[in-house]
Structure 1
Amino acid sequence: MAKRDPMTPDLFTDYTPPEVALGFGDRVARGGDLASRISRAIGRALKDCGKDRETVAADMSARLGTPVSASVLDAYASEAKQTHNITVERFAAPIHATGQRQLMGFLGAEFDLAVVPSKYETVIQLALLNDHMAGVADYKKLLEARIKGAK
């Protein structure tokens, strides 16, 4: 067996395809009511973004045009703070402020939907068209078989 060149990646073991659908997966989605899962998702986005909460709060404030404090962010990220449920308008602000688009995927997962970057939309449409054409071809074969059987 030939020696493997260490500078050449092995397509079967050295490659991990990128995640296409956005979301946190089971890291935050399991257990608890929706408010708890939202708090965990916001907390995870804040942790993963690499910014301190004061910076995120300032970015959110600028986006919303109203003040958002770091303590409000802490409340949004806390499952124990039942009185600080985030509105949809405010839910969009940390996505912009943190760059953590996984929050959109988290929201889509609540409805059994996948959120994918728009650059993949054409690929998805082509796959749907191919599926439809295969269904039409199968139906055509069925009708042709019925015609032959009727003769």
Structure 2
Amino acid sequence: MVIKVFLASSSGSTAIKKKQQDVVGFLEALKIDYTQLDIASNEVNRQWMRENVPGEKKPTNGIPLPPQIFNEEMYCGDYDTFFNAKEDNAVYEFLGLTPPPESKRQVAEEEYQDEEDEVGDDKGEDNHLASEDEEELQKLEDEEEEQGSEEAED
């Protein structure tokens, strides 16, 4: 699977440039393979992007602005949906990818599942462990978010 990021290499908009840099920097920080496709210098890329952004995701003028993100031909979203996924520590899900085994989120989810499998039928115990696990998962997600933000700034 190839993540495709449609960018405009010669955008006059500072906001668009910053959004493009944010997406690319975050993908690089997570070591996610991606391909940059320039819509400013390549008409085929521009047409493909415009035709493949779903109608309900297009702005009122009908012309989607970069960055637009795809997993092969599957539309993932624009900068705003990417940003929301990043804030929710759900970038892998947003991109349609499985988190790597070493990611904090993946490890926490696996540990949570292992503990749930080991717990007996005592419902009070289940609820107590679930809330502890949710707190631990939230801590790990917060740490991952902070680390991702720091890496993106570098």
- Taking structure 2 as the reference length, what is the TM-score of the superposition? 0.29
- Taking structure 1 as the reference length, what is the TM-score of the superposition? 0.29
Q: Select the structure of larger CA radius of gyration.
A: 1
Highest RCO, 1 vs 2 (Cα 8 Å, sep ≥ 6): 1
